[in-house]
Structure 1
Amino acid sequence: MTPAGHRLLQLCSLTLAAGAVGLLALAACGSAPAPDHAAHSGMPAMPAMPAMPGMPGMEQSGTATPGTAPSGMPGMAGMTTDEGLTAQRDGYRLDSPATELPAGVPVSYPFTITGPDGRPVTDFAEVQTEKLHFYAIRADLTGYQHLHPTMAADGTWTADPSALTPGDWRLYASFTPNTGPRQGKEFVLGRTVTVPGAAAAVPLPAVGDSATVDGWTATVQGELTAGKAGPLTVTISRDGRPVTDLQPYLASYAHLSAFHQGDQALAHLHPITPVAGDHGGPTLTFYALLGRPGNWRVFLQFRTAGQVHTAELTLHVA
């Protein structure tokens, strides 16, 4: 073989080796090249790694992606990060004629979810036993409400929050289309309304790792870093004794909503702890992915003896 041939052979070997390394790196990130790219490299296609289980709001690349619902682990579907800051995404829109609601009285908030075709969506997947989850919170992160509204045949939803105090409120709709171009993708869209009157802002409570409600104490352990999924452990106790009779609530033993101080970004999580009848607790494990540093107001909901309790605490994300 001529010297030029030797050099060509060496170059081809290096190219193939580099292609193999590149494919392995992409596969490790969960984003292997498409089959036509693989064919051009001269190697068989490498299958994409599945999304890391238990990492809410993460696609296969491992980066936080609002509106992404992971799969593959019970209790993990429907968990998102930093949502509700816009009324429209990917052609889906939260519409409502109401921009102002009265203070101090029960109200009704009508709204529709409009799809990419411009028509109200009427087919929604059931997520955590409901087809739509509705949240309301005031700008100072007080007055939290988590509701499950009803939908009319024409696609009009009606949420009935309890009496609202004066101030600016953000309202969120969490849903997953059951058909259409984004079938199976979770969305959390939000709009603001004004409740007229003199608004007295409440300072955010200090950061702490435990809260007591109705005699039950929830203690949270875990160090969170913005944009990185990590374990968060919640322990439920009563009078210093571990609680082992938690009942399922929305198909899991707890529901955690977290709102970012400042922009009111919403993240909602469910524990990965398997459900086994009315025998939950005392420890529940979440994988939390909060995309912004700073303080988050957390609302942990759990059920005992048929009653839902909501523990409130402030967590800091580095």
Structure 2
Amino acid sequence: MRTTRLSRRTLALAGAALLTTVLTACGSGTDHDMPGMNHDGASPSASASAGHAMPGMDHGAPVADGAGAPADNRSGYRFDAAAATLPAGQPTDYRFSITGPDGKPVTAFAVEQTKQMHFYAIRSDLTGFQHLHPTMAPDGTWTAPLAALTSGSWRTYASFTPDTGDGKGTALVLSRTVDVDGRADAAPLPAAATTTQVDGYTVTLQGAPMATMAHPVTVTVTKDGKPVTDLQPYLDTYAHLTAFHEGDMAFAHLHPASAAAGGRGGPELAFHAEFPQAGNWRLFLQFQTAGQLHTAALTLKVG
């Protein structure tokens, strides 16, 4: 059953939601389990891109492991980082490694959406989102070049798939907390909304997903009231969607299952989303135009 297949993938990605095109469509830890188109300028349809499956997103893809609150270890794999605190207000290199069940640093990773590692940092009040693709040294040490951070408690996420060992082919999302120096004033979570603006673009979301149920969601991008049809490929798709749950900061990686099939996409991006739990989720949609990456954020209430 299609919903069952989606559920396996989604729950394993730390509360991640699997988007299949037509939007099938991205210290201290804890010891708990992890919950992280028509392309010629005309308005696309869901079926226009249905034939281009994303790597690793078909029904034969490895099932991801983990469900629940964020954790720094799962299935014998551990997210290790020396820094428990980081400075505020300045760029910082965050170094970490992934240790395998044998106790050794993992150095072989499968490519997911063009990258071997997707790294995220977000403040505990769900502000300050950063999505990076760190570089790995031969010894398995990863370096993520974080932009300046504001004071407070942050959580970092490493999303990856081992390409060797006992966990080969199993998608994992591991997470750790890190404190940033200075006084922290939490910002209130913005109210749930169906539209938001970024860099002159308006992003509108349609759909009312319910927890644990696959549900269609559509994102439309416009500018000055006109449809945007020049979305450029980013990580092999026309948009990258990540969500974090208010409170426990569960991670959901929502991304199209179809790869970008040309140099122009939009204005509609269809997702088939499934969230593992109800409540407020802070969504971060990343899309690219004219070589510039835009990040739009909005709060979605999942019933």
TM-score normalised to the size of structure 1?
A: 0.78
Instruction: Identify the residue that residue 8 of structure 2 maps to in structure 1.
Output: 58
Instruction: Identify the residue that residue 38 of structure 2 maps to in structure 1.
Output: none
The secondary structure found in structure 1 opposite 2:86 is coil
Distance 1:236 1:77, change over 3 A: farther
The secondary structure found in structure 2 opposite 1:58 is helix
Distance 1:89 1:57, change over 3 A: farther
Q: Which has the higher contact order (CA 8 A, sep 6+)?
A: 2
Task: Give the Cα–Cα distance (whole angstroms) in 2 for the partners of residues 219 and 267 of structure 1.
Answer: 19
Counterpart residue type for residue 11 of structure 2:
A
Instruction: Identify the residue that residue 230 of structure 1 maps to in structure 2.
Output: 215
Aligned-residue offset at 1:55:
5.8
Task: Give the Cα–Cα distance (whole angstroms) in 2 for the partners of residues 69 and 184 of structure 1.
Answer: 18
Instruction: Identify the residue that residue 185 of structure 2 maps to in structure 1.
Output: 200
Q: Which structure has the larger Rg over C-alpha atoms?
A: 1
1:176 corresponds to which of 154, 161, 166: 161
2:53 corresponds to which of 74, 80, 94: 74
- How does 1:125-274 map onto structure 2 within 5 Å? 125-274=110-259
The question of whether the paired residues in 1 share the 8 Å contact of 2:90 and 2:148 is answered with yes
The question of whether the paired residues in 1 share the 8 Å contact of 2:7 and 2:212 is answered with no
Aligned-residue offset at 1:271:
2.0
Aligned-residue offset at 1:64:
3.5
Higher helix share: 1
Distance 1:233 1:82, change over 3 A: farther
TM-score normalised to the size of structure 2?
A: 0.81
| Identity fraction in percent | 55
Instruction: Identify the residue that residue 122 of structure 1 maps to in structure 2.
Output: 107
The question of whether the paired residues in 1 share the 8 Å contact of 2:206 and 2:219 is answered with yes
Distance 1:301 1:69, change over 3 A: closer
Task: Give the Cα–Cα distance (whole angstroms) in 1 for the partners of residues 98 and 283 of structure 2.
Answer: 27
Counterpart residue type for residue 58 of structure 1:
R
The secondary structure found in structure 2 opposite 1:98 is coil
The question of whether the paired residues in 1 share the 8 Å contact of 2:17 and 2:274 is answered with no
Task: Give the Cα–Cα distance (whole angstroms) in 1 for the partners of residues 77 and 133 of structure 2.
Answer: 20
Aligned-residue offset at 1:75:
3.1
Task: Give the Cα–Cα distance (whole angstroms) in 1 for the partners of residues 150 and 279 of structure 2.
Answer: 26
| Post-superposition CA distance 1:129-188 (Å, at most 9, x none) | 100000000000000000000000000001111111110000000001111112111111
The question of whether the paired residues in 1 share the 8 Å contact of 2:17 and 2:273 is answered with no
- How does 1:278-289 map onto structure 2 within 5 Å? 278-289=263-274
1:94 corresponds to which of 79, 92, 103: 79
Runs of 5+ in structure 1 lacking a partner? 1-28, 30-51
Measured on the aligned residues, the alpha-carbon RMSD in Å equals: 2.5
Aligned-residue offset at 1:207:
0.5
Aligned-residue offset at 1:244:
1.1
Alignment: residue pair count: 265
The question of whether the paired residues in 2 share the 8 Å contact of 1:174 and 1:187 is answered with yes
Aligned-residue offset at 1:83:
6.8
The question of whether the paired residues in 1 share the 8 Å contact of 2:17 and 2:253 is answered with no
| Post-superposition CA distance 1:55-93 (Å, at most 9, x none) | 64525xxx8344699899723746979677000000111
